[in-house]
């Protein structure tokens, strides 16, 4: 009876070590043929997109099928991408009379390539959209710029504030933003 008890305890302990080892020691060599390489170029800082730092601005770059990258102020590429995102917002020239819920926006983001600028607090952006003789201001805590959104006009910007999203048209094309984001889009090379 003692031998069986020792055998059960030994198997349970070995199983726990295997489970802990899987989470602590990821092995990038275990990927199959044709999968996206896990090696990261020196100019990008990979972070899981589900764990952003609290109370810090960040930029999320995502390609469908890729876990995505989060850049923080101070990371290579962040200043140029943030500046281009702000230029995109400044070029806003109209508003679509529609919106999305946060759930709908999150679903759209799962299947497309985009750059999103996240802000820790609602931020007021001045745009080029003139309403009653003055530039329209948009209050938002996230701005999403789709890079290959086939079902919508190419230059839409979705601005989110809490759970409500507004859809805006911009006069600036996405070419510069695409060029800045390309080094971080690992999945794009495979598609």
The model's confidence at residue 4, banded by pLDDT at 50, 70 and 90, is low
Q: Is the pLDDT of residue 14 over 70?
A: no
What percent of the chain shows pLDDT beyond 90? 47
> Does any domain span residue 128?
yes
pLDDT tens digits, 44-69? 444 444 566 778 999 999 987 777 89
Q: Total structural domains in the chain? A: 1
Burial class (CB in 10 A: 0-12, 13-18, 19+), 65: middle
How open is the CA angle 36-106-46, to the nearest 5 degrees?
A: 35
- Residue 166: domain span: 58-190
**pLDDT the model gives residue 83:** 97
> Does any domain span residue 144?
yes
What percent of the chain shows pLDDT beyond 70? 68
What is the arithmetic mean of pLDDT over 8-34? 39
> Does any domain span residue 14?
no
């Amino acid at each position: 009876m003692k031998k069986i008890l020792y055998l059960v305890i030994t198997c349970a302990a070995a199983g726990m070590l295997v489970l802990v080892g899987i989470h602590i020691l990821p092995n990038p060599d275990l990927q199959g043929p044709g999968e996206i390489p896990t090696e990261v170029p020196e100019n990008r800082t990979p972070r899981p997109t589900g764990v952003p730092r609290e109370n810090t601005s960040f930029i999320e770059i995502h390609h469908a099928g890729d876990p995505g990258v989060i850049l923080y102020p101070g990371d290579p590429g962040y200043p140029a991408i943030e500046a281009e995102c702000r230029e995109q917002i400044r070029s806003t020239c109209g508003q679509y009379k529609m919106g999305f819920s946060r759930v709908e926006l999150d679903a759209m983001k799962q299947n497309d390539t985009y750059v999103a600028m996240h802000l820790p607090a609602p931020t007021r952006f001045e745009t080029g959209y003139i309403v009653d003789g003055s530039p329209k201001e948009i209050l938002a805590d996230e701005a999403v710029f789709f890079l290959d959104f086939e079902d919508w006009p190419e230059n839409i910007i979705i601005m989110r504030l809490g759970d409500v999203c507004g859809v805006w048209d911009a006069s600036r094309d996405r070419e510069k933003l695409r060029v800045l984001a390309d080094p971080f889009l690992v999945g794009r090379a495979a598609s």
